[in-house]
Amino acid sequence: MKKTFYKGGAFTACASPMILLSAMLASQTVSAHGYLEVPPSRALLCQKGLNTNCGGAQYEPQSVGETFKGFPAGTGGAPLQGPFDGKIPSGGHSLFSALDAQSATRWHLTEIKDRNIDFQWRYTAVHPATKHEYFITRNGWNPNESLKRATFESTPFCTIDGGNQKPVSGDKHNCTIPSDKSGQHVILAIWTVGDTDAAFYNPTDVNIIAEAELPGGWSSVGGIAPSAQLLIGDKVKARAFSANGVSPDYDVEITIATAEEGSPNNWAFKLAEKINATHTLIRAGIRDESGNIEPVRGNNSLYAQKESGVTRYEVQLDMKEDAAARMSVASQQAEYVLEKGLAKVGFGMISNRKMNVEATLFDENNKPVGTTSAQVDSGSTTLTLDVRSNPGKHTLTLVGTTLDGRTTRQDTQPTNMTGEGAGVEHDFVFPEGLSEYTAGTKVLQPKTNEVFECKPFPESGYCKQYNPNANGFEPGVGAHWHTAWNKL
């Protein structure tokens, strides 16, 4: 598969040496592909269905995160190296950009119960490896911020020399996760390819619950990550678990009493202090050189004595709705004109909070005909949807969720489309809804802007056979598309 690194405007503001190397990269055919299989990468869990709303990653986890080698040097591209900050999981490819989203609850966490771990890759098109490296997020990292170089420790905790030889699927890389790492972390696994300028960057989201007995008989049982700004009346609860399930005798809860206490570092400190004041067999804080464990205003580790029976902790936030949050459509045109069924629908919105927003335009049959999403600041913002539809009454729906996830607001406005329609209706934009394709299903092929209908049984079975690396039945594009589809 030919890969073009950082399409679009990513190069326009860069110095000419970077442009030259980027052009060289774009001309290369990089057929090396693979993914971290154990523990599973973020993209692999998309394919398995444990992660959702993953974009193209669910179809080809083996292609995710492919970009310049050289992490953690630079800020992406030659003469600097590695992926761009904020785009490390996707490698800067728009098809996989959904993986760049980052929050404390966005991705499924794989439990790590043993610090002595065997990392394992699956290679679908193998090339020589110069090395495999494993980086981990720093203590005190913010799981609600996009992944950047500064999010990770500056050096890998494990490096495997590849000897510029072709690696074998299933080979194990035996590594040890540092003893001071516990709770939620991201491990960045990097396969550096030997005969191209590329590397594969695979994040895996983990919850490290491995016991590591420390001096004084303490074992690591979790952590307190200051992940969100809290409001007065919000509650934070550290829930204790034993090998047999919940252990409520060791639960600890605090209530935010002042705006100052709601600061992430402050409530983490307050919770750690209360744990230490409540229990003698549990400690929260950071260990110093003498083995003392004291709370800090930031990320705190949790430790337990064996006689407590506690094996892990979970920190839960009980957040009230932000009743003052507001968001609405502020302005739109009286009508939008379609040309050959296509239009750009721009509108203004306003909010008084930073939000993740999604706008969707529905036709009169309540079928989505255009959508866009963005993170917006408080104040006024203009959004634009690329629409393919027919004239008639439409509905614009705007949904916004505050960045802390506590509050969702929605506004719905009628919208009128005029002009020239798209003609043939369709059920899906290919390859969306692939598993639902049956005889008679109509899909829009965005590569050609044409509509295709799945043929009757038995040819209809071919309509679901799609792989980006072997797309023979892709409508209008694949070598054998006529077997499965009729163009309308």
Domain assignment of residue 201, yes or no = yes
Instruction: Based on the fold, state whether residues 200 and 349 are members of the same structural domain.
Output: no
The mean predicted confidence, pLDDT, of the chain is: 85
Instruction: Based on the fold, state whether residues 201 and 254 are members of the same structural domain.
Output: no
CA distances from 165 to 128, 129, 162, 192, 194 (A): 5, 6, 6, 11, 8
Q: What is the DSSP letter of 23?
A: H
**pLDDT (mean) for 415-422:** 90
Instruction: Based on the fold, state whether residues 283 and 401 are members of the same structural domain.
Output: no
Closest CA to 346 of 357, 338, 336: 336
Number of structural domains (the chain) is 4
Domain assignment of residue 474, yes or no = yes
The whole-number pLDDT of residue 75 equals 56
**pLDDT (mean) for 443-461:** 89
Instruction: Based on the fold, state whether residues 189 and 251 are members of the same structural domain.
Output: no
Please answer whether residues 241 and 314 qualify as being in contact, where contact means their C-beta atoms are separated by less than 8 angstroms: yes
The whole-number pLDDT of residue 74 equals 62
Distance CA 83, CA 151 (A): 14
Distance of CA 391 to the CA centre of its chain: 36
pLDDT over threshold 50, residue 15: no
Instruction: Based on the fold, state whether residues 116 and 201 are members of the same structural domain.
Output: yes
Instruction: Based on the fold, state whether residues 151 and 41 are members of the same structural domain.
Output: yes
Beta bridge partner(s), residue 393: 416
Instruction: Based on the fold, state whether residues 276 and 336 are members of the same structural domain.
Output: no
- CATH number where 253 lies: 3.30.70.2150
The whole-number pLDDT of residue 385 equals 95
Distance of CA 21 to the CA centre of its chain: 28
445 burial via Cβ count (<10 Å: 0-12, 13-18, 19+):
buried
pLDDT over threshold 80, residue 4: no
Instruction: Based on the fold, state whether residues 21 and 120 are members of the same structural domain.
Output: yes
- CATH number where 129 lies: 2.70.50.50
Please answer whether residues 385 and 371 qualify as being in contact, where contact means their C-beta atoms are separated by less than 8 angstroms: yes
Q: What angle do CA 242, 245, 248 make, to 5 degrees?
A: 75
Residue ending a domain, choose from 374, 396, 419: 419
pLDDT over threshold 70, residue 283: yes
pLDDT over threshold 60, residue 62: yes
pLDDT over threshold 80, residue 119: yes
Distance CA 312, CA 210 (A): 9
Closest CA to 3 of 85, 54, 68: 68
pLDDT digits (tens, 9 = 90+) for 268-282: 999 999 999 999 999
Domain assignment of residue 2, yes or no = no
The whole-number pLDDT of residue 12 equals 33
- Work out the percent of the chain whose per-residue pLDDT is above 90: 48
Distance CA 447, CA 476 (A): 9
Q: At 349, which helix (H) or strand (E)? A: strand 342-351
pLDDT digits (tens, 9 = 90+) for 175-216: 888 888 888 999 999 999 887 778 899 999 999 887 555 667
User: Which string of DSSP letters, residue by residue, matches 287-313?
Assistant: E-TTS-EE--SS-EEEEEEGGG-EEEE
- Three-class DSSP category at 484: helix
Domain assignment of residue 145, yes or no = yes
Domain that holds residue 340: 327-419
pTM over 0.75: no
pLDDT digits (tens, 9 = 90+) for 337-364: 999 889 999 999 999 999 999 999 999 9
Q: What is the DSSP letter of 279?
A: -
pLDDT over threshold 70, residue 19: no
Beta bridge partner(s), residue 453: 442, 486
Domain assignment of residue 1, yes or no = no
Domain assignment of residue 234, yes or no = yes
Instruction: Based on the fold, state whether residues 335 and 441 are members of the same structural domain.
Output: no
Distance CA 305, CA 294 (A): 16
What residues contact residue 350 under an 8 Å CB cut-off, 6+ apart?
A: 326, 327, 328, 330, 379, 380, 381
Least confident piece of the model among 339-343, 413-417, 438-442 = 339-343
Beta bridge partner(s), residue 120: 38, 172
- Work out the percent of the chain whose per-residue pLDDT is above 70: 90
pLDDT band (50, 70, 90) for residue 365: confident
Instruction: Based on the fold, state whether residues 364 and 341 are members of the same structural domain.
Output: yes
Residue ending a domain, choose from 255, 285, 318: 318
Residue ending a domain, choose from 363, 392, 419: 419
For residues 282 and 435, the model is more confident at 282
Instruction: Based on the fold, state whether residues 162 and 87 are members of the same structural domain.
Output: yes
Instruction: Based on the fold, state whether residues 221 and 141 are members of the same structural domain.
Output: no
**pLDDT (mean) for 246-275:** 95
Domain assignment of residue 3, yes or no = no
Pairing mode of beta strands 282-287, 293-294: antiparallel
The whole-number pLDDT of residue 31 equals 47
